[in-house]
Structure 1
């Protein structure tokens, strides 16, 4: 009788442990966006990164932080269910920045298997023509 109860308890605990192992997982369509060349006269550009929750649990983005104040990320705040998609819109504002090439990163903190993901934006801002 003790063996049966022990085996039953072990079975219940192992099922509980296995069900606790489900996690969200995030997959992006791309992790880098190149704006190409744009003029200093129109210094604000934006792009959207799309991701899918390929895990078994709801995906939550806890934080999105840009490497500088010139890049501002906006992200889906509500949990993303398994199989569903979400977006991260990044706006780069080159106002007051020196023309030329730039490369910035956006760090995401999530509840996914890979808890931290980095996205990159880059481009070339050309100088205004002197008059």
Structure 2
């Protein structure tokens, strides 16, 4: 009991001591204005132009692993760099072009969906973090997953 109180007191002390500086007070107004001017002048962003942003796998069986390749073109004026891509759950796994995509060039994003343990209607998304003006792009997939047949309990097994 004493150890618990001591640990709790230590956590409170660290919390109060680590939060005494206000970071907003350290920001210089002239730096904020300079950054705003710089960003307003920079219109040379890459643009991810997808041939499609949604894909329907239709009806699949639970346990199937399906995949679809989304293709995109960089229609902007700067090289496109995909920093990260993440599925909305562990069952949706993206794989993407790691090298910068030059203006006018194409790239691809492979999205795999594992339907194991995911019966019925499924709607998933992949969030892409890139150096586009918005910073994030979204792809969507969906499927109707036919559940696995469940064994009927209480039925005697024939010998």
Look up the match of 1:31: 53
Unaligned runs of 5+ in 1: 1-16
Q: Give the number of the structure with larger relative contact order, counting CA–CA contacts within 8 Å between residues 6 or more apart.
A: 1
Alignment root-mean-square deviation, CA: 2.2
TM-score normalized by structure 1?
Answer: 0.79
Q: Give 4+ residue runs of structure 1 displaced > 4 Å after superposition.
A: 17-20
- Structure whose residues are more often helix by fraction: 2
Q: Distance in 2 between matches of 1:18 and 1:94?
A: 45
Deviation at 1:128, TM superposition (A): 2.9
1:46 and 2:67 aligned: yes
TM-superposed CA distance for 1:60, in Å, is 0.4
Q: Deviations over 1:83-106 (max 9, x none)?
A: 000000000001123x21000010
2:141 to 121, 124, 130: 121
| Structure showing the higher strand proportion among its residues | 1
Within 2, Cα distance between the matches of 1:101 and 1:21? 41
How many equivalent residue pairs? 114
